[in-house]
């Protein structure tokens, strides 16, 4: 007695194509990475909105910086105070957002198998100084991932892996 099963060529080809499609789907990380890059971007934008990060507020602007912004150039602080009659600290200046160029140059991107947020051109040089500090410019880290955004990234990765595992089970 013997049992046999014969697979015709069409059925074998269809099965092979399904397996290949599932293997390709496992390689394609672009969609979850794009979502993660957007979340990284949102975390950085929240840092700008709150003028600080998850560790606290950024160091306040120096009186000289405030006066320079008020006058539109680097000027004499003492003379400016005499002419305005107001304390230097009453100027409502947003930290790291004088012109808005640096903030506007921040972009989310997927590079190979990595989600990133970066800065373009000359603003990247300026951003590095503010991120890490240099000379009399204090570090004001703006490229940070807040815990609540990290949780969202972990969920995206987890959901993606679950759908891949489910897809493998359907072969």
The pLDDT of residue 25 is 65
Q: What is the pLDDT of residues 30-61, one digit of tens each?
A: 889 999 999 999 999 999 999 999 999 999 98
Percent of the chain whose predicted confidence (pLDDT) is above 90: 47
Residue 144 and residue 81 in one domain: no
Helix axes 30-50, 147-169, angle to 10 degrees: 170
143 domain-assigned: yes
Look up the domain containing 123 and give its range.
30-60+99-171
Q: Are residues 155 and 166 in the same domain?
A: yes
Is 41 inside a domain boundary? yes
| DSSP track, the chain | --------HHHHHHHHHHHHHHHHHHH--HHHHHHHHHHHHHHHHHHHHHTEETTEEPPPPPHHHHHHHHHTSS--HHHHHHHH-S-GGG--PPTT-SSSHHHHTEEEEEETTEEEEEE-HHHHHHHHHHHH-BTTBPP---S---HHHHHHHHHHHHHHHHHHHHHHHT-
Instruction: Decide if pLDDT at 3 tops 90.
Output: no
**Six token digits for residue 54:** 């998850």
Judge whether 22 lies within some domain. Answer: no
**Where among 44, 73, 94 does a domain terminate?**
94
Within a domain: 139: yes
pLDDT per residue as tens digits for the range 94-150: 899 888 899 999 999 998 889 999 998 899 999 999 999 999 999 999 999 999 999
In this structure, are 43 and 65 located in the same domain?
A: no
Question: How does the average pLDDT of the chain come out, rounded?
Answer: 82
Mean pLDDT, range 57-69, rounded to an integer: 85
Domain termination residue (choose one: 94, 114, 147): 94
- Out of 94, 113, 137, a domain closes at 94
- Look at the chain and report how many structural domains it folds into: 2
Q: What is the pLDDT of residue 77?
A: 46
Q: Looking at residue 166, what is its pLDDT?
A: 63
Q: What's the CA gap between 48 and 69, in Å, rounded?
A: 18
If asked whether residues 75 and 158 sit together in one domain, one would say no
Higher pLDDT, 15 or 88: 15
Span 19-27, average pLDDT: 70
- Rounded to 10°, the helix 63-71/77-84 angle is 60
Confidence band (pLDDT; 50, 70, 90) for 17?
A: confident
Same structural domain, 35 and 81: no
């Amino acid at each position: 007695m013997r049992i046999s099963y014969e697979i015709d060529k069409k059925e074998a080809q269809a099965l092979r194509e399904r397996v290949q499609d599932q293997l390709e789907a496992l390689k394609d990380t672009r969609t979850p990475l794009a979502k993660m890059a957007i979340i990284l971007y949102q975390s950085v934008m929240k840092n700008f909105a709150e003028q600080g990060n998850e560790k606290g507020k950024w160091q306040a602007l120096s009186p000289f910086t405030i006066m320079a912004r008020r006058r539109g150039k680097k000027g004499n602080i003492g003379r400016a105070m005499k002419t305005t009659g107001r304390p230097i600290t009453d100027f409502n200046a947003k930290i790291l957002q004088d012109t808005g160029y640096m903030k506007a140059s921040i972009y989310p991107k997927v590079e190979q198998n990595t989600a990133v947020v970066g800065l373009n051109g000359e603003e990247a040089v300026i951003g590095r100084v503010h991120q890490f500090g240099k000379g009399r410019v204090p570090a004001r880290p703006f490229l940070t991932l807040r815990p609540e955004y990290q949780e969202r990234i972990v969920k995206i990765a987890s959901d993606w892996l679950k759908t891949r595992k489910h897809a493998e089970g359907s072969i």
